[in-house]
Amino acid sequence: MAPHFEDFSRALTRLVDAHSDEPRILDLGRALLAKLVARDDWLPAEFAQPHPQYYSQYLLYCDPRQRFSVVSFVWGPGQKTPIHDHTVWALIGMLRGAEYGERFAVPQEGRPMHSLGTNMLRPGEVDCVSPSIGDIHRVSNAFEDRVSISIHAYGGNIGRINRHVYDAQTGSRKSFISGYTNEPPTIG
């Protein structure tokens, strides 16, 4: 991986070595991620490949103690996530193109989910979510005709974490584990 990315992963390691409180990690981590996505000349092409049907999430780095992971999210034209949560802190930095993030209030089961509004993220900008500041959102490529890429850092090994997708109409939730695009499927 490029030195620019290695500088970031080392700096994030030092950050979680020094701090465990989430507000501090989000505040200082936001600045580190902004520095990473201020440049778009470092992401290897293999981690920037869109899939024709599904958005892709490539693991770029996982802390050996699983305190954080870093993923490239590659959106094909018009692709979007379901409404989902993370259960850990997450920093989202826009590298290429643009995306919409729509936040939702914690649902009351049986009722339609309440949108808290939609934000557009442009290259160089960073957003964050977490259980303490609002953890439920839906993300989509802002473009119907081109690929967008964002870089995400999460407060755990996100591809292994049991979390949830939500039904917009009923607020009911289902467990899921996302895995990563760049690994073979597991059995069972």
Binding residues for Fe cation: 84, 86, 137
Q: What is the DSSP letter of 112?
A: P
d(CA 5, CA 35): 10
Length of the chain: 188
Closest CA to 95 of 27, 31, 158, 48: 48
User: What are the backbone angles phi and psi of residue 47, rounded to the nearest 5°?
Assistant: -100, 15
d(CA 97, CA 121): 9
Contact 116, 103 (CB under 8 A): yes
User: What are the backbone angles phi and psi of residue 146, rounded to the nearest 5°?
Assistant: -160, 165
Closest CA to 172 of 105, 85, 108, 81: 108
- Residues annotated within a binding site: 84, 86, 137
d(CA 6, CA 70): 11
